Structure 1
Amino acid sequence: MPEQAATIDNMARGKDFFYFTTNDGINTRAYQYNFLSSKSDEIKLPVSGTASVMPVNITSNDVLILLTSWKQPFTIYNYNALTRVVKPSAWTAKFSYPGVDDIVVEETEIKSHDGTMVPLTILYNKNVKKDGSAVCYMTGYGAYGVSGTPYFSTYSLALLNKGVIVAETHVRGGSEKGESWYKAGYKTTKPNTWKDFIASGEYLINNHYTSASHLIGEGTSAGGILIGRAITERPDLFAAAISNVSCSNALRMENSPNGLNNTKEFGTVKDSVEARALYEMDAFQHVKDGTKYPAVICVGGMNDPRVIVWQPGKFAAALQNATASGKPVLLAVNYDNGHFTENKEIAYRNFANMFSFALWQAGHPDFQAKK
């Protein structure tokens, strides 16, 4: 496999072929290398999205292809490398979700603060008007080299079926464009992460997908740095923000159960250069009195060892004392689980609370208080 612009993802061996996938920053392409001919041929995937290739064993040419996309739930396909035929596997149950056929997927690149082109994925129902009146839910992460690759989300579908635009930002700090993309949002370069997020919001507003009075920003866990610094740097850009189990007080992360582990990603206060970088990414330290902040819901898990509950708690308290907008700032404490949960009843409740609060504050007509 020659070095190339696309990143090389998974690799596996079968009987007569070697299989590998590449990623262009968002979508996967799959290939099979023939041991006899020394040639590589592309495998035609049924849909564009996130895929992995799994040979059944090394004594046959039967392969499983695992595939999901922004519009397709996780699906298993059978693939025969000799005949090049891909067909749905009996391992995948039949499914039907309302509204999927009406989803439009746009994958584009937008110019960030320093001229860097940043990938942005935009999902919306085909009937949504691009006149700035739609509510938009914009999410991002940008840490640990985790990329925002395509995946099917029932949570996103619930928003899409309410006429909400869903934007997945691919900010620096992930690995969408390889190792250099990751290191461009890491420790001292971390500001690129939230500045890419801000640039994505500006693009959505300037191109009339939404407006500042209808834009929701969201960040979870390490994405708390992204959303926390986005709203403290550009509070005028957002109607509402969701700061979910969020790293909001970076300077004090070292003094928490997961603190030493986080120093490898964000830095340590024991190093003067990294300490200044931690201050820069600390949302709590950048809250200013008298600022008109958007409506914010901060969520913390009482049993969360990864992001200790006082991180979002301190951020919520600072915003409550400082904001001059008159918009609500809430702290929601989850006593039922830690960072996340496999209990769907609790998960659905948490997302319902976050979404309904944000949609209310972003002016969605279905979520306004009844008089």
Structure 2
Amino acid sequence: MIKAGIIGATGYTGAELVRMLSAHPDVELTVITSRQYEGKKISDVYPALSGRSDLVCEAFDPKTFCEQVDIAFTALPHKIPMGIVPDLLERGVRVVDLSADFRFRNVADYEAWYQPHTAPELSENAVYGLCELYHDEIQHARVVGNPGCYPTTILLALVPLLKAGIIRAEGIVSDSKSGVSGAGRGLSLGSHFCEANESFKPYKVDGHRHRPEIEEVLSAAHGDGVEVTFIPHLLPATRGMLSTIYCTLAEGKTEEDARQVLESTYADRPFVRLREKGMMPDILHVQHTNFCDIGLSSDSRNGRLVVASAIDNLLKGASGQAIQNMNIMAGLDEKAGLL
């Protein structure tokens, strides 16, 4: 039985981790932390967890925390994990970090979009936790940088196609949409009900922090620099995310070639579902699951390929993928606790 702990258990992703780890057949959730709700039961913060977990939120203390866990989930805002993960590793605890702190191999890219990095040597050696594409590396990782939600939709759709030379690296456009839970539990005007209900709008059009994350992974897959146009939008929905990606087929390549590559890549991967020809993903069909649904369509007039990809942003886009990473790291059934 693996002993797991969550640092930052009272945000949306932390609460999802509590819910799923409490029911995981191979895990004992031993400790959860929260600065804001120290001393309160998690079921008092989230009444839906009543009967699932009555753990009390504790203040984070590295020594006592590490004495109780084999693996830690850091469900914290960017910048905080880089300050505590080195201590966790020194005490023999493996880490799945849900912030952006350990997603970038190129620390300069992280620092350009976030802030100075205080543990660059760890960032350079961390494994990017996109389970379907980096399974073997994740198995041996000490620290995994859990991917962002938008990047998960885009990278699962595009990396195999770029690697196989099915699409061109130039001119990729992703028109992506997320439910408001993607903004987190903290208060902000844009996620208030009256602002988001019956509304639909793009945001951060001049540059979103997920763009360099997407470009770094695509560039590694392609073997050369890849730039994308990435435009996020806010949906009037609680959860769910869909990216509609426009790219150009390489000379002589077809939609059927793209479909065969995706089918081959994900044939043995339990959480990627390729929609049948003529069908496109729907966020309704992936909500509350760890699945990523992908659909394809092409326009023979201009050689364009449209790839659509949908996930639940709180699960495959965050906590579900984090547990999938833990399963791989621990040598468990990858599906454990997720189906």
Give the TM-score, by structure 1 length. Answer: 0.29
Higher helix proportion: 2
User: Higher relative contact order at CA 8 Å, sep ≥6: structure 1 or structure 2?
Assistant: 2
Give the TM-score, by structure 2 length. Answer: 0.31
